[in-house]
Amino acid sequence: MRLGNYSYAKYSTDANLFYSELSDKAFVLSQCVVVLKIITASIHKMSTNQPLAYQTSKAVLLYLNANLRLELAQKCSEIRTADMSTPLKIENLQLSPMDFQVNDTTYGVTLHRVPRRTEYFPEYPHDNSNCEEIYDVDHYGFKDQSVGPEDSFFWDYVAFSYDYESDLDIVLKKHSLTHADLSESAEKIRSDISLSKKPDMSKLQFLFDRNNQVLFPYILRHMGMEPHEMPYYYCIGFNVNDGEKTELVDYTCKLVDAVRYMFNKVFGNRKLIIAKKLEISAFCCFRYKFQSHFIVSDLKISDDYSKVLNEFGPLLNSNEQQTLQSLQIVVPEGNNGLDHAIIKSAEVLTVEGDLSNEQLQQLSTTNRRVIFDDDEYQDEILFLVGEWKRNTPPIGTHYSFPLFDDHFHYAFDDIRQLEGSSERLYPETRETKFPHCITFKLSNESELNVYYEQEYIHMKIDPAGHSVPL
């Protein structure tokens, strides 16, 4: 059965497969069937079952668990209509190139290698497997070179390299065989089948032992096996929670198109998504063009934040009064841009990576609360002390640098050597094992206090007189 660009097939394997059509009315996000009834009361009747009206359904959907709501929308067209125009509230949303996670449920796309018995390989004994490939493959399982970078999530991805061809040569040599013997055996098998004879695989049977499974693609490629001759074939799998539920469709499209299809079932035409936490693992998530607007409290970007923010920024917190409560970014080497409006407006900014003095100066003028996520920031701390003495940030500016207890004293020794320092007690840490702070008077209104608490060195601009003498 063909549905759009997808051929649907029912495979008789031992895997836990579910056979429902990939249409707007029956895309399987979960196999639990839930019946939603609205019970209304009247003066004369105890209760009656009434149809779910559009406005009523919108009110109900707003407070449903996001995963249950997505499931209901796929099962019922009336609910789906209301669902797309009702804000979707999600506690935790994670976007990755080939899957996304809504709260505790992951929806993903993978390749599956499905075994089959053919005339060429009647005794092929191996099991259905969920492949780890993150790019399109040919019928052997090698990277499909016909798929260009615009149609691949990880075109430049370089997997761990291992010379399996050498391993195959060792196995063949052990049995006095060559590559030529493989292709000759394939031709002999084809000849036997054309004459309605049972193909003789005895010469090569040892190669298809489970212990050699990693070599199968190399063996079959040397044999020159055509797709219909292969002892396995590839399918696209739509998975819930890493294979807890799986639906297979024929591999008749690129992986990127299958992912777009899956994303579209959840995000397509949806007006607003409200997520407490959103994590974006890679820029190539945006091969799917989101049409929704997002209101997010906490955002984490694991990839190049500049590209992500340029693509995602126009969809994020479209209300100008809505800012991120926290933003976590990784600053790649050589990236000097920290002037994006979303970065500057974040209430709490967490930064991972090495920052130049120019970037530290830039942050000092825009971000009042910054947490650094790497160690070995000693030089940055010393630079910022001097910078804040010259250009004092507003009171309340607070930067934190991770540092283990056993390195704390060395760091403080260096800070004590700076001009204008004095050692005092910090009120917020006086009951801890590190009650002292190093204070720099900045003006009659403010002072800089450097103190240590919970494996972080903190730099904070406080009102003058906040620290107290020893």
Mean of pLDDT values over 369-396: 91
Instruction: For residues 428-456, give the mean pLDDT.
Output: 94
Contact criterion met (CB below 8 Å) for 275 and 100: no
Q: What is the model's pTM?
A: 0.80
pLDDT average, residue stretch 438-456:
95
Q: What pLDDT sits at residue 313?
A: 86
What's the pLDDT score for residue 236? 94
Name the 3-class secondary structure at 222: helix
198-219 residue pLDDT tens: 887 777 878 887 778 888 899 9
Asked if the model's pLDDT at residue 144 lies above 60, the reply is: yes
Q: CA dist 127 to 18, 141, 157, 204, Å?
A: 18, 15, 27, 20
- Indicate whether 53 pLDDT > 60: no
pLDDT attached to residue 441: 96
Q: Which of 55-59, 303-307, 421-425 comes out lowest in average pLDDT?
A: 55-59
Give the model confidence (pLDDT) of 383-408 as tens digits: 999 999 999 999 999 999 998 877 77
The mean pLDDT value for 5-32 works out to: 34
pLDDT band at residue 443, thresholds of 50, 70 and 90? very high
* Reduced DSSP (H G I as helix, E B as strand, rest coil) percent helix, strand, coil of the chain, to 5: 30, 25, 40
Spatial distance between the Cα atoms of 386 and 434, rounded to a whole number of angstroms: 23
- Two structure tokens written together for 388: 């804040």
Averaged confidence pLDDT in the chain: 82
Contacts of 417 (CB under 8 A, 6+ apart): none
Alpha carbons within 13 A on the beta-carbon side of 31 = 14
Going by pLDDT thresholds of 50, 70 and 90, the confidence category of residue 372 is: very high
Average pLDDT on 239-257 reads 87
d(CA 452, CA 412): 9
CA 272 to chain centre: 21
Give residue 205's pLDDT. Answer: 78
Rounded CA gap, 323 and 325, in Å? 6
pLDDT value, residue 157: 54
Tokens at residue 145, please? 């070179």
Cα radius of gyration (the chain): 31
Q: What is the pLDDT of residues 153-191, one digit of tens each?
A: 665 555 556 788 999 999 898 888 899 989 998 998 899
In degrees and rounded to multiples of 5, residue 96 shows phi and psi of -125, 165
Q: Is the pLDDT of residue 7 over 60?
A: no
Neighbours of 134 (CB within 10 A): 16
Mean pLDDT (whole number) for 429-455: 94
